[in-house]
Amino acid sequence: MTTLHTEKRGERTKPSYMSAYRMMWMLVTFDLPVDTKRHRADATKFRQFLLDQGFEMSQLSNYLRLVNGQEQFETYTRRIGSNLPERGDVFIFQFTDRQYENIVRFSDQSRRARKKNPEQIALF
């Protein structure tokens, strides 16, 4: 994914490109205890926090988000670290937009077509 943007410098406009190697995906995967009412509530609260941060649920314990570079990745990592449940395991993976294009998916015993990367980033 390469998108053309323009930046103004004085009176001139200079094109710049968002590189598919700069854009990264964050995958937050976790294994949280749900054996008590409190643990279930903590797990639900953590899932809701991820959704509020712009992550999309890929599977029940896997959430994805596109970020613009390492600095934004670190910002979201700190936010997640500040909102961890009391117990359980949380893992955060990062991979480039190009690597995301090459993920192999199987569903119902069939290989699925590669997911197309978003054409643009939605800003809220």
Residues placed in the known binding site for Mg(2+): 31
Please state, in angstroms and rounded to a whole number, the distance separating the CA atoms of residues 104 and 115: 9
Known binding-site positions: 31
Please state, in angstroms and rounded to a whole number, the distance separating the CA atoms of residues 9 and 12: 5
- DSSP annotation of 73 reads H
SS3 63: strand
SS3 105: strand
Please state, in angstroms and rounded to a whole number, the distance separating the CA atoms of residues 34 and 3: 43
